[in-house]
Structure 1
């Protein structure tokens, strides 16, 4: 389980990581909100522990931005502000749980375990031919082999797979990936190429199909 700890107190971050790593969890670190968003853009995390009062961007803004971008990684807010209004604000921003400082590390681990258990119980999978996408674990396999994709490429592939075998226009796909901004076609093409390279190139039968002038589709052999 890979956890992102977003906390500007480096000693506290190190203490949490040392305890969690004793229980077979891996940890990455961000010491401000802007760095956290960049790490979430570049990596997939199973859970985020998020402080509220941080430089550059507070935790509420980070949490809301992740939600707006379609990142559904569970978030545990960690803060010294423990009144009801602050907790409600955190939940409204998309947090899954709330732990007050100073926190008990065993209690923090118990909260993490509870979220992990809920994820396992609600696991959703899509199977198309020899590809399996686990939407909860955010993993992709083909012929039993793991397919490594960036968070954005995974989001694109999942959207196509959920609508397979339908053809989805590039405009709709770009709006799904970046709802709050316009992006260059070249940026979109980078992620399409990444999917095609990882998902199709090593195998005999392609699953990602480009329909000239129409859009993209994920299709198994029986859908041709």
Structure 2
């Protein structure tokens, strides 16, 4: 069941949307202001956040920015009465993943929530796995305050693994992330994996990188394999 957090200060609209989500077999939570919504989003797990922009106490744009700084990659669908392209660009710049202007068709809202569910947002400014911390704005990675020295290729490789963590990432996905539709031979990927493992070993973080034979690689807290 899709877990949705609705953050909307219009009580009548919120009640309608909550009923709509329940009829669509979703499990919604609700907050009527930005601060309460931020607290729920930081302390619970949701598949999608549906966020009004014009919220009291903390507006939707500031709320989304804080989530992305915190490394929370739950997809955000903005709801707003503002319809201009500049307003939409502000929403995407704040870390949103989709934007729906009021008034809207309820069927479209449900369709957009379903489309976002199961994804993770690429808008996060920080990705964290255990004590491994990636600052996506400054392209810097640290492990227990020690900075990793990564080539651009190894950075992209590590970012792909961290964003997918703890899931397994197969060879094809990694090759597409690094080289698009024209990957070199398989030995090149193996060489970059070895380089990444060597740097993780240098900072005592090798235990995070797992190799699953025949499946791919994963970044997880715990003993490496």
TM-score range with shorter-chain normalisation?
0.5 to 0.7
Partner of 1:35: 36
Equivalences, count: 146
Name the counterpart of 1:170. Answer: 144
After superposition, the C-alpha distances for 1:149-185 in whole angstroms (9 at most, x for unaligned) are xxxxx9544959xxxxxxx843359xxxxxxxxxxxx
Specify the alignment match of 1:108 in structure 2: 109
Distance in structure 2 (CA, Å) of the matches to 1:101 and 1:33: 19
Cα offset for 1:110?
1.2
Q: 1:99 to 1:159 in 2, by over 3 A?
A: same
Tell me which residue corresponds to 1:25.
Answer: 26
Give the gaps of 5 or more residues in structure 1. 120-135, 138-153, 161-167, 174-213
> What are the superposed Cα offsets for residues 72-127 of structure 1, whole Å, 9 maximum, x if unpaired?
1111100111111111100111111111112211110111122237x3xxxxxxxx
**SS of corresponding position for 1:61:** helix
Q: Note the 1:192-207 alignment, pairs <5 A.
A: none
Matches of 1:222 and 1:62, distance apart in 2: 36
Task: Using structure 2 for the length normalisation, give the TM-score.
Answer: 0.56
Report the counterpart of residue 55 of structure 1 in structure 2.
Answer: 56
After the TM superposition, list the runs of 4 or more consecutive aligned residues in structure 1 that deviate by more than 3 angstroms.
154-160, 214-224
1:67 equivalent in alignment to 2:68: yes
Structure 1's 172 and 90: CA in aligned 2 closer, same or farther, altered over 3 A? Answer: farther
In the other structure, the counterpart of 2:98 is 97
Q: Structure 2: which 5+ residue stretches go unaligned?
A: 122-126, 134-141, 148-203, 211-221
Q: Following the alignment from structure 1 to structure 2, what is the Cα–Cα distance between the partners of residues 216 and 35?
A: 38
2:86 alignment partner in structure 1: 85
TM-score (norm 1): 0.56
